[in-house]
Amino acid sequence: MAMTMRTLANPGLARSILLLSVLVGASLQAAERPVKKLIEFGWDEPDPAFIRGHLAEMEGTPFDGCVFHVNYARPGGGTGSFTWEAWGQRTFTEAELKPALDDLKAIHSRRFSHNFLRFNTTPAKLDWFDDHSAVIHNARLAAQVARLGSCAGVLFDIEQYEGPLFDYRKQRDAKEKSWEVYAAQVRRRGREVMSAFQSGDPNLTIFLTFGYCLPWAQSGGGKKALADCPYGLLAPFLDGMVEAAHVRVKIVDGHELSYGYKDPDRFPKAYETMRETLLPIVRDPEEYRRVFSFAFGIWMDQDWRKNGWNAEDTSKNYFTPETFEASVRKALEVSDEFVWIYTETPRWWSAEGKPVKLPEPYDAAVRRARKGFAKE
C-alpha cells in the first residue's frame, strides 16, 4: 500500500494505514492455513453403505471424517475387497464398484466430510519388473471413485501386509539386479501410480500411513544403506510420486511412527525430521516440500495385546484420557492439517448404533483436544 506525501505529513494516518496493512496480511496468512482435521482409522473401518446408514451416529463423534474400504460383488456370490486386492493382477471395473459409489453419492454431510478411500499395497504378489497395468488401472479407479463420491482423497496404505514390496533384499531378482537398478524401476512405478491417481482426481489428497519417515528411521538416520532396510525401496517409490505430482495434488505423510507418543515434545521434533532432517534420502527436496504435508497418527489403545485395554479403569491403559488429550492436542497444534486416531479394541461406532468398549472420558478428551484447532 503506497504512501502519498499527504499520508507522510499525517503521522496518525500513516500509523493507521500501517496497522491496517499488518492486520490484512495476518488475515490473509490465517486464511491460507488449513483448518486442522481429525480423521478416524481403525478396526471399526466402515464401507460406504455403513457410513450412509449410520451417518447421524458418525457425525456425532469428534471426527471430521474416516478411512473406509470398498467391496465388490463376486460373480459367484458373496463379496470381495477392492481395498485388499487392488495391488495385483486383477483389473477391476467401474461396474463392480458402482454400488459403493452410489452409496458415497448419497452421503451428504458438512460435518463428516473428510473421508478417505483406503487403497492397500496388497496382495503384492508382483515383482517391480512385472506388468503393473492392473495396479495402475486400479489406482486410477480408486481416485475416480473418491472424486465422484465427494471424498477428501485416498488413504494409500503402504504397509507390507502380505508381500515384502519395499524390501530390496527380498525382491525376486535381487541377486541379479543391483539396488540402483531396482530403485530406478521402483521410482518409475511411483511416477506411474501417481499419474494414475491424478488422472482419476486432479485435485487429490493422498494420505500415506508412512512417508519417507519410515525408511529414514529404519536407516538409523542415514547411517544404514536403504538397500538393507525393510522399507528401503519406499524412498525411491516416493521420489517417483513427487516427480509426477501436479500442482493441485497433496501428499500427506501420516507418520504412523507417532502412534505411542505420550510426551507432547516429541511431535515438534518429528515434524522437523519430516520437513528437514530426512532430506538426505529425498531425491528432490524442493519439490518434496511443495508436495508434502506432515501429519501424525496416534493409537489410542496402543499395543493393547501387550499393554491391555481396560474400559472400566482407564488409569491402567497406556494412554489415560489425560495423556491422550495432551498428545492429540499437541499433534493438532504441530501438524500441517491432519491428525488421525487409530483404534482396535474400542470402536467409535458399530452396527448397533453406539460405541463399543469406548469409555466416555476418551471421547471427552478428544473433543477438548480439538477445540481451537479443528472446525466445530
- Whole-number pLDDT of residue 23: 42
Q: Could you tell me which residues are beta bridge partners of residue 119?
A: 156
Quick one: pLDDT band at residue 296, thresholds 50, 70, 90?
very high
Chain centre distance of CA 5: 53
Q: Which domains does the chain have, with CATH numbers?
A: 34-370 (3.20.20)
pLDDT at 211 over 90: yes
Query: Is pLDDT of 281 > 50?
Result: yes
- pLDDT digits 0-9 by tens, 75-109: 888 899 999 999 999 999 999 999 999 999 999 99
Q: How confident is the model at residue 30 (pLDDT cuts 50, 70, 90)?
A: very low
Residue 236 to residue 128: CA distance in whole angstroms? 12
pLDDT at 234: 98
Inter-residue contact 362 to 370 (CB < 8 Å): no
Reference 194, options 257, 236, 232; nearest CA is 236
Q: How many residues does the chain have?
A: 376
Rounded CA-CA distance 318/133 in Å is 44
Q: What single DSSP character describes residue 273?
A: I
Binning pLDDT at 50, 70 and 90, where does residue 5 land? very low
Of residues 25 and 298, the one with the higher pLDDT is 298
The predicted model gives 22-40 an average pLDDT of 62
Please tell me the distance from the alpha carbon of residue 224 to that of residue 133, in angstroms, as a whole number. 33
Measured in Å, how far apart are the chain's first and last C-alpha atoms?
35
Q: Is 70 exceeded by the pLDDT of residue 2?
A: no
The cell for 115 is 473421508
Report percent pLDDT > 90 for the chain: 87
pLDDT mean over 47-75: 96
Euclidean distance between CA atoms 61 and 349, whole angstroms: 9
On the question of pLDDT at 6 being above 60, the answer is no
